[in-house]
């Protein structure tokens, strides 16, 4: 890996929603790549911002708006696609998947907490055939970053990913077996692609809603999104500040 030869120089931040991306774009003074300069294939709604910050070249990508419905293209498919293409064309030394997540109070999560995911898995890919069942869950360790955890005092927990915002009884059963503290709609897909291309990836997730709480997830998510995005912005900034000048092995 290029990063092993010297300090980390290229960071790819993968974000699902524009609301989550905007504060980071502002913080790092990134500019949007115009269409005529885009490395993305024609027809892809993906968005890329880029710039330099404290000796790092930062690319921030997101799946963009759905062409038909005009909403953020959330979920595993769109995120995996933009992550895959971005790794191949931008060749980052490190990926940061930054986003919001639901948290489980039974596992110690509270609104506004920021977690670094230690493990990721899927909870809605049920394939009850030997070996295919394990492939469906796709459990994997994330890139270990003990010094980031220690320095920034982030919480740590396992992340479970699925394509639904709410949680069905089947999903809940798998999430429990995944021993997850937080759940999102992208992380395990980013991890799958990062592993495929041997690129280290860390997962910074801020809790917008309590999955095992009293309020409906959708209501609580929308209510807390802006405030929690500010906490996410602060945490990601601290991570990027820490990364500056470091080697991969220093993380």
| 4 pLDDT more than 70 | no
Given the residues 119, 171, 209, 220, the one annotated as active site: 209
User: Could you report the per-residue pLDDT of 129-148, keeping only the tens digit for each?
Assistant: 999 999 999 999 999 999 99
Residues 6 or more apart whose Cβ sits within 8 Å of residue 214 = none
Rounded distance between C-alpha atoms, residue 136 and residue 23, angstroms = 34
Sequence-ordered strand ranges (E) for the chain: 10-14, 31-32, 47-53, 56-62, 94-103, 114-122, 140-141, 155-161, 182-184, 201-210
In CATH, which superfamily holds the domain spanning 10-243? Nucleoside phosphorylase domain (3.40.50.1580)
Given the residues 20, 72, 93, 186, the one annotated as active site: 20
Q: Which of 229, 231, 227, 240 has its CA nearest to residue 151?
A: 240
Burial class (CB in 10 A: 0-12, 13-18, 19+), 54: exposed
Identify whether 209 is a catalytic site residue.
yes
In the chain, what percentage of residues exceed pLDDT 70? 98
Identify whether 20 is a catalytic site residue.
yes
| 3 pLDDT more than 50 | no
Radius of gyration of the chain (CA): 17
Collapsed DSSP state (helix, strand, coil) of residue 237? helix
| 229 pLDDT more than 90 | yes
User: Could you report the per-residue pLDDT of 153-198, keeping only the tens digit for each?
Assistant: 899 999 999 999 888 999 999 999 999 999 999 999 999 999 999 9
Domain positions in the chain are: 10-243
């Amino acid at each position: 890996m290029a990063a092993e030869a010297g300090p980390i120089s290229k960071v790819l931040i993968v974000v699902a929603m524009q609301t989550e991306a905007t504060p980071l774009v502002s913080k790092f003074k990134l500019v949007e790549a115009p269409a005529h300069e885009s490395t993305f294939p024609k027809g892809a709604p993906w968005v890329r911002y880029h710039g330099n910050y404290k000796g790092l070249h930062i690319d921030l990508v997101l799946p963009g708006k759905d062409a038909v419905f005009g909403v953020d293209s959330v979920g595993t498919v769109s995120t995996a696609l933009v992550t895959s293409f971005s790794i191949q064309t931008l060749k980052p030394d490190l990926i940061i998947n930054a986003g919001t997540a639901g948290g489980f109070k039974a596992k110690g999560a509270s609104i506004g907490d920021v977690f670094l995911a230690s493990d990721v898995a899927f909870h809605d890919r049920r394939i009850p055939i030997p070996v295919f069942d394990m492939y469906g869950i796709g459990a994997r360790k994330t890139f270990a970053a003990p010094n980031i955890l220690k320095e920034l005092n982030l919480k740590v927990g396992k992340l479970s990913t699925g394509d639904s915002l709410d949680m069905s009884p089947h999903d809940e059963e798998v999430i429990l077996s995944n021993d997850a503290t937080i759940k999102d709609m992208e992380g395990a897909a980013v991890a799958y692609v990062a592993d495929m291309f041997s690129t280290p990836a860390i997962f910074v997730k801020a809790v917008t809603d309590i999955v095992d709480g009293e309020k409906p997830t959708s209501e609580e998510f929308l209510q807390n999104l802006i405030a929690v995005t500010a906490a996410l912005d602060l945490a990601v900034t601290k991570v990027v500040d820490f990364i500056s000048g470091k080697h991969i092995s220093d993380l």
